[in-house]
Amino acid sequence: MEKPVNLDDIFRSRDFTALRENLSKLTPRDLAELIGDSPPHEQAIFFRILPRKLAASTFEYLPGEKQRHLLSPMAQNDTAAILNEMSPDDRTMLLEELPAEVTKELLSMLPADERKIAQSLLGIRNTQLAV
């Protein structure tokens, strides 16, 4: 998929309202491809201006490496919101790929009921990752 020319123009003009409106018209799969094909400095901008539910849906289509790259500079509230919106299976795949300390930190951001589901799917009981 190629980025529509008008998105490049809108991005360069820094009209983030128009960019958000145009990006919101794309499917999560197309957005993931667009974000993945963009330079790193654009990836975070594209992702952060998406409506929260669309960002969470798009996040699930990104490869693990891109997911980790996007999560690292995010505020804790943004990260927690995305994790909460992800399906338990997709969230588990992400958490399994991360270092133990990062997984523990992310698990602590989940509400108790979601944390129990995540820990169960990860096979965590009374281990070092239990929160």
85-113 pLDDT per residue, tens: 888 888 888 888 777 877 888 888 888 98
Task: Report the chain (131 residues): mean pLDDT per 10 consecutive residues.
Answer: 62 81 92 87 80 87 84 73 83 81 84 89 61 50
Percent of the chain with pLDDT over 70: 87
pLDDT at residue number 14: 77
pLDDT at residue number 1: 55
Residues near 62 by beta carbon (within 8 Å), at least 6 away in sequence:
32, 35, 36, 70
DSSP collapsed to 3 states, 7-54: HHHHHHHCCHHHHHHHHCCCCHHHHHHHHHHCCHHHHHHHHHHCCHHH
Tokens representing residue 108 in the block: 């602590």
Decide: residue 32, CB within 10 A, 0-12 exposed, 13-18 middle, 19+ buried: buried
